[in-house]
Homo-oligomer: A and B are copies of this chain.
Amino acid sequence: MAQWRDLLARHAATSCMLDRELGDKCGLGMSEFEVLERLVEGCGGGGQALRAQDLAHTVHLSQSALSRVIARLEKGGLVTRAMCESDRRGIVITLTEAGRERYEQARPLHREVLELTLGAPIGPLDDSSSN
């Protein structure tokens, strides 16, 4: 119970600050960043390409939400959608150079926020306002 409240508080504080910081300084939402990160991780060096359904397993989003996140990223030129050859129902998401740059730009900010909100021992900081 106390565990749940703590989790709730940490999640609220962190995701709020994260969303705000990433949004203001990088034009990214938490979900967008999460997807970019998975794309960067997913493939070592070269062709960052993942099936949409693979992403769905690792990001905590519904299939429809993921579809729209990808749409937003594509619109911003950070990823490209292509038909999957082996199964033409699926799509392959590829990280563009701009996408990688944007991620590299956002990452330190992300880690900074995490250290700030998760590093704190117990009494969470400000929380100022809201969720």
Please list the residues of chain A having a beta carbon within 8 angstroms of any beta carbon in chain B. Answer: 1, 3-4, 7-12, 14, 60-63, 65, 111, 114, 118, 127, 129-131
Q: Are A129 and B62 in contact, with the CB atoms below 8 A?
A: yes
- Complex CA distance for A85 and B60, rounded to whole angstroms: 46
Contacts of A12 in B (CB 8 A): 60
B residues in contact with A131, CB < 8 Å:
60-62, 65
Task: Return A12 CB to nearest CB of chain B, in Å.
Answer: 4
| Residues of the B chain whose Cβ atoms lie less than 8 Å from the Cβ of A127 | 60
C-alpha spacing A14/B1, complex, angstroms: 12
Question: Which one of A63, A129, A130 has the highest number of Cβ atoms from chain B below 10 Å of its Cβ?
Answer: A130
Bound-complex Cα distance A52 to B130 (A):
14
CB distance from A119 to the nearest CB of B (A): 9
